[in-house]
Structure 1
Amino acid sequence: MLFSNKLIAWYLQNKRDLPWRKTQDPYAIWLSEIILQQTRVAQGMPYYEAFLTHYPTVLDLAQAPEDEVLRLWQGLGYYSRARNLHATAKKVSVDFNGNFPATYKELILLKGIGQYTGAAIASFAFDEQVAVVDGNVFRVLSRYFGILSDISTSTTKKEFTALATTLLPKKQAALFNQSIMDFGAMHCTPKKPLCPTCPFSENCVAYQTNQVALLPIKLSKTKVSSRFLNYLIYKDPLNQTQIQQRTDKDIWQQLYEFPLIETSNTVEETTIRDQIYSIDTNKSTKRITKMNSEPIIHKLSHRKLHINFWEIEVDQVLNQGLAFSSLKKFAFPIVIHNFIVQHYE
């Protein structure tokens, strides 16, 4: 157990001071784990604190309106996490009387809780002897043991899970899991790892064979496609506009946006202007202004969005018009929210 002992010794001297490590409350731990999926600790911390302030218990979160939860989540991205968070809070509230299941096998049956998150909650909150396997764990173990398997496959994930499980010290799963996660995040980093001062350098296969930069191996890559979005910001004589909710199973589901013209590729400005006029049903367009000279590029995990905003002044009062000052009440994708803050607040 030399590896585990060294790892824990490093952690006890270098660990990060994180609030969710000072509790065994499964709700707080679950909340932190969901927020930190695809999110850096520094970015996620304010959201964690905000959610605990607004919803101190899972029952409070369960009773919150979904729009309110999405608005609080605004800026974190991957909004399916927020929808799953809300759905699971409701299930725990109704089916489990507000008490989280206490075992890994039960936890992973809940929406939004995968193998890694389930292992984290089970070990941190309930002291279950189960190993976490995330990007940090892949990186540390692949480098130390010189594992050349492709981490994008399910077979390799099982291989790493089995290895991590054998490394767990008895009755110290939580401590080991926190140690390897912090070591990967702070020391054995993806780029510029601190190899010269690493306590494992003498026995690290990757360091001894000059393969640190190559490991872990991930062969499959997410295919990124482009989408072209033109948002129409109507503005009537009462300084009102219109918005709509995205209800399809697509990016930003359940979030709000301005009326949209989406094209399959980049098109001329005159084409968009012609389309705006063609859909003008009693809005009496009098002026169209393109608000950004170049498309705003917004990157998602598998999409590259090219976004233009068009302000459209109309003579007629809009049906179901909404004051610009009211927009802050709605949950928008962060790229639209930032545009509203910049131009209309």
Structure 2
Amino acid sequence: MQDIPLTAEAFRQRLFAWFDEHGRKTLPWQFDKTPYRVWVSEIMLQQTQVATVIPYYQRFMDRFPDVFALAEAPQDEVLHLWTGLGYYARARNLHKAARVVVEEHGGEFPVDSVEALSTLPGIGRSTAGAIISISTGRRAPILDGNVKRVLTRLHGVEGWPGRPAVERELWVLAERYTPEERLPDYTQAMMDVGATLCTRGKPACLLCPFNDVCVAHARGEETRFPESKPRKTLPERTTRMLVLRDPEGRVFLQQRPASGLWGGLWSLPQFDDEAALRAWLDQRFPRAQREADGAAFTHTFSHFRLVITPSPARLHEPFSSVGETGELWYDVQAPASVGLAAPVKTLLDQAVT
């Protein structure tokens, strides 16, 4: 790490001057900054861009205006409103945390300290800092992806930020620059600089208030920082997704186990191969007729790639009931309010036509 010729106070002065003129101040969660509203926004914004989050956030707030409404809701409905945002563990943890807040804290978020707030499911040190600083105005440093990018470039911090030693170095810098006042503005400003100027691919260095002191910019190495996680070749798996339709055009779905891949979401039945698919059909729906497979496509997870082959089948006689809990006939014309895995939603949307 290289020090820059700028005091913490001078850094903050530049940051606030830029934010006052260019910062984002009309995002939905910047009004009525309760811990609940800020918390929901911070969880949604993890690994997701602001423009994508806004409509989801607004629908979520309309349905769950406070933590009590969220805690009382069935998980299916929470996952349904999350469908399309991805990283569904965030939604499950959001739901769990809401119930903890209601049952153990009387509906009040434990914002007295980062440590207390971090005990809730899905809330780490940086997210807790953002919730506290934005909703209460108390000092609590943050170190999300945007802030990491700004600090690593500004100081030329070597190494992948996911390494504990590098992360500790960045936390020291985050502590150094975090002020004692204007905490909501400071937290938002740091996020905004990273999201709108110090972007991953094409940083707008000419517009940055720190371009004259930025180590990465001085070296012409902006895109080298922060260093990427050492890459591994993603393994590839294959699956067949059965798209079984009844005479009314409804599609058969099963609910995934609560934990694991697509936990708690509703999915098309999956099989390793055609033989397993046909054996299941012979047992559950012996009158179903297989149709030609659709084109295979790939869905990429953080740790593997899943190659999905849509495998249609059709029932020509009414079959009104399902044999087990965790199963349903999904009406594509009048969809149920259930959470769907992204590739499943894609296939169901195609089934409408």
Query: How far apart are the structure 1 equivalents of 2:211 and 2:297?
Result: 44
SS in structure 1 at match of 2:243:
strand
Give the Å deviation of 1:129: 1.2
The 5-angstrom pairing of residues 323-338 of structure 1 reads: 324=331, 325=333, 327-338=335-346
Give the Å deviation of 1:342: 1.9
Asked if structure 1 preserves the Cα contact closer than 8 Å seen for 2:115 and 2:125, the reply is: no
Q: Which amino acid aligns with 2:307?
A: H
Query: How far apart are the structure 1 equivalents of 2:258 and 2:117?
Result: 28
Query: How far apart are the structure 1 equivalents of 2:258 and 2:29?
Result: 35
Query: How far apart are the structure 2 equivalents of 1:91 and 1:154?
Result: 29
Give the Å deviation of 1:278: 3.0
- Cross-structure match for 1:252: 262
Unaligned runs of 5+ residues in structure 2 are 1-8, 323-327
Give the Å deviation of 1:140: 0.9
The 5-angstrom pairing of residues 266-285 of structure 1 reads: 272=274, 274-279=275-280, 280-281=282-283, 283-285=285-287
Q: 1:323 to 1:7 in 2, by over 3 A?
A: closer
Query: How far apart are the structure 2 equivalents of 1:98 and 1:275?
Result: 48
Unaligned runs of 5+ residues in structure 1 are 264-271
Q: Does 1:183 align with 2:183?
A: no
Q: Aligned-pair RMSD on alpha carbons?
A: 2.1
The 5-angstrom pairing of residues 130-149 of structure 1 reads: 130-149=140-159
In structure 2, which of residues 130, 133, 137 is the aligned counterpart of residue 127 of structure 1? 137
- Cross-structure match for 1:49: 58
Query: How far apart are the structure 2 equivalents of 1:189 and 1:239?
Result: 45
- Cross-structure match for 2:181: 171
Q: Does 1:154 align with 2:164?
A: yes
Identity in percent: 32
Query: How far apart are the structure 2 equivalents of 1:195 and 1:33?
Result: 26
Give the Å deviation of 1:21: 1.8
SS in structure 1 at match of 2:312:
strand
- Cross-structure match for 1:322: 329
Q: 1:248 to 1:20 in 2, by over 3 A?
A: closer
SS in structure 1 at match of 2:33:
coil
Q: Does 1:85 align with 2:94?
A: yes
- Cross-structure match for 2:123: 113
- Cross-structure match for 2:3: none
Give the Å deviation of 1:289: 1.6
- Deviation string for 1:175-231 (max 9, x for gaps)? 222111100110111111112232222211111122212111234346633221211
SS in structure 2 at match of 1:193:
coil
Give the Å deviation of 1:242: 2.6
Query: How far apart are the structure 1 equivalents of 2:229 and 2:57?
Result: 33
If the length of structure 2 is used for normalisation, what is the TM-score?
0.88
- Cross-structure match for 1:69: 78
Q: 1:99 to 1:195 in 2, by over 3 A?
A: same
Asked if structure 1 preserves the Cα contact closer than 8 Å seen for 2:197 and 2:207, the reply is: no
Q: Does 1:194 align with 2:195?
A: no
